[in-house]
Amino acid sequence: MWRGSLAAKSSSPSRLSIGDIIFILTLITVTLVVIGVGTRTVSNALELEDVKRRAEQLASRFEEIAAKRKAGEEITPEQCSNKEIDGPDGTKVLPTWSDCFNAVTGAEPFSEWKNILNPDNDTYGPACDRTDEKTQGLIIIEKGTPWFSAGSTGTYYGAFDGPETLQKEILGRVSLCDRWSNLIRVREIKF
């Protein structure tokens, strides 16, 4: 008799309890959330890599121009030369960094680029700002200024300030702003 009552109390393997159903639903929900977060993370990483490739391409273009300047070859665009060019009013002027930057980024393929991380934002900018969502995805070129102090040396990087002429070699750095407007350094260039 005791065996019979024990057999009656055992549960059938084909029936799920409410706890089993809750566990299975929780497992499915967690799996879907992990898949969603993982997919979004991979997508964000691929977008950031695309911005890095573009920044590398822009840095390479400026390095090509710098090599031609150093070799004394003809430079296209002429706004990037280190010799006097015809100004808007017909007088001879020295090209400035802003003229060169605008000429390079105004030509293909750079003029066709849109901000990958946020298409509503500009493509190029002066600096990253964590408090401003408009800096997400920017490609930045900063000017390097060497400093010396008590036997230490280094380079300070910041935005180009004013009409920098291109007579002398300029140290620069190409960087970008990630999705949270953090600065990511891509490459240093001599221009």
Percent residues over pLDDT 90 in the chain: 34
3-state secondary structure labels for all residues of the chain: CHHHHHHHHCCCCCCCCHHHHHHHHHHHHHHHHHHHHHHHHHHHHHHHHHHHHHHHHHHHHHHHHHHHHHHCCCCCCHHHCCCCEECCCCCEECCEHHHHHHHHHCCCCHHHCCCCCCCCCCCEECCCCCCCHHHCCCEEEEEEEEEEECCEEEEEEECCCCCCECCCCCEEEEEEECCCCCEEEEEEEEC
Average pLDDT over residues 69-74: 85
Is the pLDDT at 5 greater than 70? The verdict is: no
Query: Whole-prediction pTM value?
Result: 0.76
Residue 127 reports pLDDT greater than 50: yes
Q: Using CA atoms, how far apart are residues 121 and 115, in angstroms rounded to an integer? A: 6
Q: By mean pLDDT, which of 98-102, 146-150, 159-163 is the weakest?
A: 159-163
Cα–Cα distance between 179 and 135 in angstroms, integer? 9
Average of per-residue pLDDT across 102-125: 90
Tell me: pLDDT of 162 over 80: no
pLDDT of residue 114: 92
Bond preceding residue 77 cis, omega within 30 of 0: yes
- With contact defined as beta carbons under 8 Å apart, do 105 and 124 qualify? yes
Give the pLDDT band (50/70/90) at residue 166: confident
Query: Is the per-residue pLDDT at 53 higher than 60?
Result: yes
Residue 170 has which token pair? 């300029």
How many other C-beta atoms are found inside a 10 Å radius of the C-beta of residue 56?
13
Span 75-100, average pLDDT:
82
Please report, for the chain, the start and end positions of each structural domain, with discontinuous segments joined by +.
Answer: 22-190
Please report the pLDDT score of residue 3 as a whole number.
52
pLDDT of residue 31: 96
pLDDT tier at 1, thresholds 50, 70, 90: very low
Q: Is the pLDDT of residue 163 over 80?
A: no
Which of 29-33, 47-51, 134-138, 154-158 shows the lowest per-residue confidence on average (mean pLDDT)?
A: 154-158
Residues 145-159: tens digit of each pLDDT = 888 887 788 888 888
